[in-house]
A and B are shown apart, each in its own frame.
Chain A
Amino acid sequence: MRSTTPSQDLIRGIWKENPVLIQMLGLCPALAVTNTVKNALAMSAATFFVLTCSSILISSVKSLIPKEVRISSYILVIATFVTLADMLLQAYAPVQHKELGAFIALIVVNCMILGRQEAFSSRNTVYRSLLDAIGTGIGFTIALLMLGGFREILGIGTFFDIPLFGPDFEPWVVMVLPAGGFLTLGFIVLAMGYHEERKKARAVREGASA
């Protein structure tokens, strides 16, 4: 498993294998709490914390975990850190904790976190797992901020609670409702597909002219 360099471990998760936009993992939190940028940020911070801590712990004790019960052990480790994150948020950011509600507990079943443990931390060194976790965490944060940004700007007319359009703006309420989450992500995925198609077409054209 030495086919990639450490810097590749870090940047891979940010865009090329972005957990939400490319791999479609961890969609529940990505769509449910991104109606404002603030909520998106709190959610990504909590997920980042859980992902990094579990990756460090699991990669350092990976030789002690029997293969047969590895998934259950990962889940237990993740659940422990989620409980910690839940308590920390409750203590230091009670408003955000109330807004996110049950979705903090639901970080446990975020397939992205379990996926990284199974695919990476269980067979790589602590240092590389840490880089991988940070990269994936940043990718997750970017995706959530994109979703939250679009939805807050269009649906409420503010960005990070700062009004953008003056009093005449008619908010596009549907964007902050559940349907808006699906539609925003759908349009982002379509835009990325369009970009890929054009890149491919350009490569073909250049190949033909050369």
Chain B
Amino acid sequence: MSDQTLFSIFFSAMVVNNFTLALFLGLCPFMGVSARVETALRMGLANIFVLVLTSLSAWVLNTYILTNAPYLRIISFIIVVASLVQIVEMVVKKIAPVLFRQLGIFLPLMTTNCAIFGLAIFQTNRGYDFIQGIVFAVGAGLGLTLALVLMASIRETSELSDIPAIAKGTGLTLIIAGSLSLAFMGFAGLL
């Protein structure tokens, strides 16, 4: 059981310990989908949805199923995450085929998105209860979305500027991420 207040959990997950910029979780979509603001936003929203579902299932697993077998945690979490992503994929395909096409390969890739799996592990290690877990998941998801959108808007702007040839691509993205991360460190004093 954790005695943090809900607000501090939410705020910490969203900005102070931002999943992408402070904990390096979910870097693949951060590098891959952050070229356009609109796609970044959609990806972020899909992430929030999966994160909340993961948090729910991790809580159920921890409370009812894994109480006697904590050593099976890693294996069962990964199975749950994989099947969840599969279900979400099918649901999105059925009810929103346009969105499904736009997200493309990054929807199935969420299985190996460290942010999703990391959320389940962190939630367990910190002993969050049901409500705390949901708040944590929403905060983390909003934080991911924030980082993705910020990154995408900076990259959209920098596309028009004159960049030296060697810095095009990953190098520049990493330096921008470093600067963003520095900026987010400013929030550390708030909690």
**Which residues of A approach B to under 8 Å, CB–CB?**
24, 27-28, 31-32, 71-72, 75-76, 79-80, 82-83, 86-87, 101-102, 105-106, 108-109, 111, 114, 174, 177-183, 185-187, 189-190, 193-194, 196-197
Contact = CB atoms under 8 A, between A and B. Distances in A.
Given A28-B27, A183-B178, A102 B118 contact: yes
Interface of B: 21-28, 31, 71-75, 78-79, 82, 111-114, 117-118, 121-122, 125, 165-167, 170-175, 177-179, 181-182, 185
Nearest to A183: B178
Given A102-B125, A109-B113, A186-B174, A28 B25 contact: yes
A24 B23 CA distance: 17
Contacts, number: 113
B166 A108 contact: no
Contact of B114 (A71, A109, A174, A196): A109
15 contacts: A27-B31, A32-B25, A72-B79, A79-B75, A82-B74, A83-B71, A101-B125, A106-B121, A109-B117, A114-B112, A178-B21, A179-B181, A179-B182, A181-B24, A189-B170
A175 B41 CA distance: 30
A146 to B, nearest CB: 14
B178 A186 contact: yes
A170 B75 CA distance: 44
B181 A178 contact: yes
A23 B59 CA distance: 35
Nearest to A186: B174
Contact of B178 (A28, A71, A86, A179): A179
Most chain B CB atoms below 10 A, which of A24, A28, A86, A177? A28
A179 B31 contact: no
B183 to A, nearest CB: 9
A113 B179 CA distance: 29
Contacts of B179: 179
B71 A193 contact: no
A24 B174 CA distance: 11
Describe A's contact surface by its main secondary structure: helix
Contacts of B170: 24, 189
A189 B22 CA distance: 20
Closest 9 CB pairs of A and B: A186-B174, A182-B178, A193-B166, A183-B178, A179-B181, A186-B175, A32-B24, A179-B182, A190-B171
Contacts of A185: 174
A186 B26 CA distance: 17
Contacts of A106: 25, 114, 117-118, 121
Contacts of B23: 32, 178
